[in-house]
Amino acid sequence: MGVLEIHNLHKSFGGTHVINDFSLDVTELTLCCLVGPNGAGKTTTMDLITGRQKPSSGKIVLRNDDITGLGEHEIAQRGIGRKFQVPAVFRELSVRQNFEVSYSREVNPFRNMFRRQPAGFKAQLDEVATLTGLKDRLDVEAGVLSHGETQWLEIGMVVMQNPAILLLDEPVAGMTESEIEKTIVFLNQLKKNHTLIVVEHDMSFVREIADVVTVMHMGSFLAQGKLSEIESNPKVREVYLGEPEI
């Protein structure tokens, strides 16, 4: 039994099948990389899991709790955190305030009126700020952060939510080599006590972090396994990896 189970997911936009009978089972405390060529439906799958779009049919189960068709905030409350492809942080707020908003244990507006800093926030802030390397940047306005720092901030915000599972959509897009190395270190730290799904194109990055790799093609499940198995899979080579270089 996995943390997150996806059963026979379908999504079509006016007759075009974008996701076609896709199933996936994510095991606790693993990092699963979702790869596939452009248009394979990776981001759409993320949208369906997080409730941004409603599936045409199929079932999504989070820890034995059917979350299919719920609203975005309900799914987020049940424990799915998402980092967007284009980094989305609150640019006018300080880094600390970004983390504070993300600490969403209490979502009732009236109870939040009488609360400045919730219990447990400080410890979690310390942990996440250290993890993301933003400890010295807490009082800086998020809008002035570099691209890499913004990506880390958003991943940190998702961790602050303390979700059962983290979905990261292209976390290293646009990063420099040294930034990517830093991200690899902290993602490997993160998977010690979190379950993650990462959508990524960069195969050298996938090699460094993935426990399991799932390949999608034309909206369907193509293959799943360890990276070495995937790389030698003839079907995957044909549609995605191409002929081996050496």
Partner 1 sequence: MTQNLYHNKTAQWMVYAVFFMCLFAVPTIVSDGFLLNQFATYGVYAMLALSISLCWGFGGILNLGQGIAFGLAAYGMAMTMQMQSQDASNPLPPFMANNSLDHLPFFWEPFWSTGFGIVLALLVPTLFYVIFGSLMFRARVSGPFIAIMTLAMLSALYTLILDMQPYTNGVNGISPPAALQIFGTEIDPYSTKAYWTVVALLLLTTVASKLLTQSKFGLIVQSLRGDPERVRFLGYDVAFYETVIYTVSGLIAAIAGCLWVMLVQYVSPAQLDVNFSITMVIWAGIGGRLSLLGAILGALMIQGGQSYLGDQFLNTWLLLLGGFFILVVRFLPRGLAGLLEKVLGMMAGRQRRGPDPIAPPRIVGAPAK
Positions in the binding site for partner 1 (CB under 8 A): 50, 71-73, 76-77, 81-82, 84, 88-94, 97, 100-102, 104, 106-107, 109-110, 112-118, 139-141, 144, 157, 161
Tell me how far, at minimum, the Cβ of 153 lies from partner 1, in Å. Answer: 12
Longest CA–CA span in the chain (Å) reads 63
Of 94 and 220, CB closest to partner 1? 94
Tell me how far, at minimum, the Cβ of 10 lies from partner 1, in Å. Answer: 23
Of 155 and 227, CB closest to partner 1? 155
Write the CB contacts of 135 (distance below 8 Å, at least 6 apart in sequence).
Answer: 129
Instruction: Determine contact, residues 98/159, Cβ cutoff 8 Å.
Output: no
Single-letter amino acid code for the residue at 12? S
Tell me how far, at minimum, the Cβ of 203 lies from partner 1, in Å. Answer: 28
Tell me how far, at minimum, the Cβ of 4 lies from partner 1, in Å. Answer: 16
With H, G, I as helix, E, B as strand and everything else as coil, classify residue 135.
helix
Of 110 and 234, CB closest to partner 1? 110
Distance between CA atoms of 156 and 109, rounded to whole angstroms?
23
Instruction: Determine contact, residues 155/83, Cβ cutoff 8 Å.
Output: yes
Tell me how far, at minimum, the Cβ of 107 lies from partner 1, in Å. Answer: 5
Q: Which two tokens stand for residue 170?
A: 């292209």
Of 24 and 89, CB closest to partner 1? 89
Helices 177-190 & 147-160 angle (0-180, nearest 10): 10
Of 88 and 185, CB closest to partner 1? 88
